[in-house]
A = this chain, B = another copy of it.
Amino acid sequence: MPAISPVTIRRARRDDVEIIVRMLADDPLGGARERIEDPLPPSYFRAFEALEHDPHIQLVVAEGGDGIVVGCLQLCILPGLSSQGASRGLIEDVRVASHCRSRGIGEQVVQWAVAEARHKGCKLVELLTHNTRVDAQRFYQRLGFQPSHVGMTLRF
């Protein structure tokens, strides 16, 4: 079993956008959805600005000891009336750089998000993972998540 690589979790900056988009694209599902060009299409930077100014959203990256970004995750803390007005945490866009997998990086990033959601008063953390991502489902179950729901999507 490979050694665990400890990472630092920090908020993403504008100069991380390219490496994040590359991680999103380096994936059987994401590959078809992203556009990797030099420079990147401006829509990515517009989205980053919207994220940066949203007080409920944290896009974070995991940085290795050498300062290289090796993972990312987006956490939204969403207020709502249900469960006695408890907020919910929504985890999205979890990725670990393909050459750094199986070193516990995904676990550190997700555990950070779970702790952060709890700290912000959430009673529930939720996420959708594609039916084909069987390894991801096993990974989340190991971290205590239950496959309790059907995740339904409508794409335009």
Q: Which of A99-156 contact B (CB under 8 A)?
A: 114, 118, 122-131, 133, 137, 140-141, 143-156
Size range of the chain A interface in the assembly:
35 or more
Q: Tell whether A131 pairs with B150 under 8 Å between CB atoms, given A82-B24, A93-B80.
A: yes
- In the bound assembly, the distance between CA atoms of A118 and B86 in angstroms comes to 28
Q: Does A79 contact B (CB under 8 A)?
A: yes
B-chain residues with CB within 8 Å of residue A30 when the two chains form the complex: 82
Contacts of A147 in B (CB 8 A): 131, 150-152
Q: In chain B, what residue has the closest Cβ to A20?
A: B81
Any chain B CB within 8 A of the CB of A6?
A: no
Most buried by B among A54, A144, A154: A154
Does A92 interact with chain B (Cβ within 8 Å)? yes
19 contacts between A and B (CB under 8 A): A17-B81, A34-B84, A47-B79, A48-B81, A50-B79, A59-B81, A74-B80, A76-B78, A78-B92, A123-B156, A125-B154, A127-B152, A129-B152, A131-B148, A143-B154, A146-B153, A148-B151, A148-B153, A149-B153
The answer on a CB contact under 8 Å between B93 and A81 is: yes
B126 touches A152 (CB 8 A): yes
Q: Find out whether the CB atom of B150 lies under 8 angstroms from the CB atom of A85.
A: no
Additional A-B contact list (8), CB under 8 Å, known A44-B85, A145-B153, A146-B152: A34-B82, A57-B78, A59-B81, A78-B92, A124-B156, A126-B128, A126-B152, A130-B150
A47 touches B150 (CB 8 A): no
